[in-house]
């Protein structure tokens, strides 16, 4: 068995469901698309994407690189049951288990050691996940692991898009795969389902409108006009994957590594329960998961928006308490949610004591939009 086949066999034993090889050459077309995307200001606050690192060149990360081994690790594609009494928030499926960055890195490092032992020569390597400055989706397409769909996700034929990508840069030559043809055809299911209109065609996304960006990457207030469209998502979004026909063939639960399987508390958590999290409780909630990507104030901001969309009178007391949160970002979004629920009394009380100018503006806007009580005349 030649080395490339042996590496695939070793990777499969580590839980990877697809492995493909691409030359460690600079991705010229992908680099141009990135420049176009940045020029259209679609990156929003993700300024690091316009940094000095050449994301299109694997050798910028490992000068000795000859091949990029692209690996796909599956995660659960089915929804999870709510945890405790509702209403509940939704967390993107990839973040419902252990932190995939850690899981992928561990398996990629193990694969590198197996390659080093098998190659019979010195092998330089570097393991990468999505935090590395590398155009991993373009590399996956170049290697033939899958194709980039209209929702900008990599679709792996026979598996769909519920997979996590990891790359191993190695200083050995392996026979490269052939790029997969694009297979979306006339289907626009993902574009049609996106409530915020983030998918604009041409396999591009305006991240500033994407629910994943708004709930994870954005550090400040969520634009008011987009808040109702987020519904109950509090970390990421799966809508464009849920409607994709290719995900009818998503990996079965038996293929998902144990550490990536959903945890009930990180799948469909109680929104009012999350709103009461203090600093220590928040750290415990996100510990060991990809939810560590957000700060407490961001998560509670998202929870407030979700409660404004799916909450009711029973959730007003929790939101009223959030008007006293130490973070202005949380207080402002709690005010918006209370306005949506027509709870004027806590807003009027908070306006008199609120010291932050931006929060006062949120409260005033919420009061303007909140329905006033109707009185029946006695005459």
For the chain, what is the mean pLDDT? 94
**Alpha-carbon distances of 79 from 246, 252, 268, rounded to whole Å:** 17, 13, 9
- Mean pLDDT over 149-166 rounds to 95
Is 130 an annotated catalytic residue? yes
Point out the catalytic residue in the list 25, 54, 83, 130: 130
The tens digit of pLDDT for each residue in 308-320 reads 999 999 999 999 9
pLDDT in tens, 25-74: 999 999 999 999 999 999 999 999 999 999 999 999 999 999 999 999 99
What is the average pLDDT across 269-288? Answer: 96
CA dist 78 and 83 (Å) reads 15
Determine the Cα–Cα distance for residues 365 and 367; give it in Å rounded to an integer: 5
Spatial distance between the Cα atoms of 313 and 311, rounded to a whole number of angstroms:
7
Q: Which of 185, 302, 196, 283 is nearest to 239 (CA)?
A: 196
pLDDT for position 360: 98
Q: Does the global pTM surpass 0.85?
A: yes
């Amino acid at each position: 068995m030649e080395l490339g086949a042996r590496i695939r066999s070793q990777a499969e034993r580590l839980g990877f469901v697809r492995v493909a090889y691409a030359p460690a050459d600079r991705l010229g077309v992908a680099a141009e698309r990135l420049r176009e995307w940045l020029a259209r200001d679609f990156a929003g606050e993700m300024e690091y994407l316009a940094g000095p690192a050449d994301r299109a060149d694997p050798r910028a990360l490992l000068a000795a690189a000859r091949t990029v081994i692209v690996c796909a690790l599956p995660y659960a594609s089915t929804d999870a049951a709510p945890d405790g009494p509702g209403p509940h928030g939704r967390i993107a499926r990839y973040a419902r288990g252990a932190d995939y960055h850690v899981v992928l890195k561990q398996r990629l490092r193990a694969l590198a050691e197996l390659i080093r032992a098998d190659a019979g020569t010195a092998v330089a390597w570097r393991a990468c996940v999505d935090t590395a400055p590398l155009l991993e989706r373009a590399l996956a397409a170049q290697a033939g692991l899958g194709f980039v769909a209209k929702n900008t996700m990599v679709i792996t034929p026979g598996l769909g898009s519920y997979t996590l990508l990891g790359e191993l840069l190695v200083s050995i030559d392996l026979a490269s795969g052939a790029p997969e043809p694009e297979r979306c055809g006339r289907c626009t299911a993902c574009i049609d389902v996106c409530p915020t209109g983030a998918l604009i065609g041409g396999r591009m996304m305006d991240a500033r409108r994407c629910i994943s960006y708004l709930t994870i990457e954005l550090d400040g207030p969520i634009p008011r006009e987009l808040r109702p469209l987020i519904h109950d998502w509090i970390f990421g979004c799966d809508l464009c994957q849920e409607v994709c026909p290719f995900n009818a063939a998503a990996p079965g639960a038996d293929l998902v590594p144990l550490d990536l399987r959903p945890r009930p508390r990180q799948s469909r958590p109680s929104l009012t329960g999350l709103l009461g999290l203090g600093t220590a409780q928040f750290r415990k909630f996100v510990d060991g998961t990809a939810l560590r990507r957000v700060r407490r104030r961001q998560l509670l901001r998202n929870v407030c928006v979700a409660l404004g969309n799916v909450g009711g009178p029973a959730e007003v007391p929790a939101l009223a308490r959030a008007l006293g949160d130490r973070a202005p970002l949380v207080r402002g979004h709690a005010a918006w949610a209370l306005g949506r629920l027509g709870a004027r009394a806590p807003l009027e009380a908070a306006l008199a004591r609120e010291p932050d100018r931006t929060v006062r503006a949120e409260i005033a806007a919420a009061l303007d939009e909140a329905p006033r009580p109707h009185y029946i005349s006695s005459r």
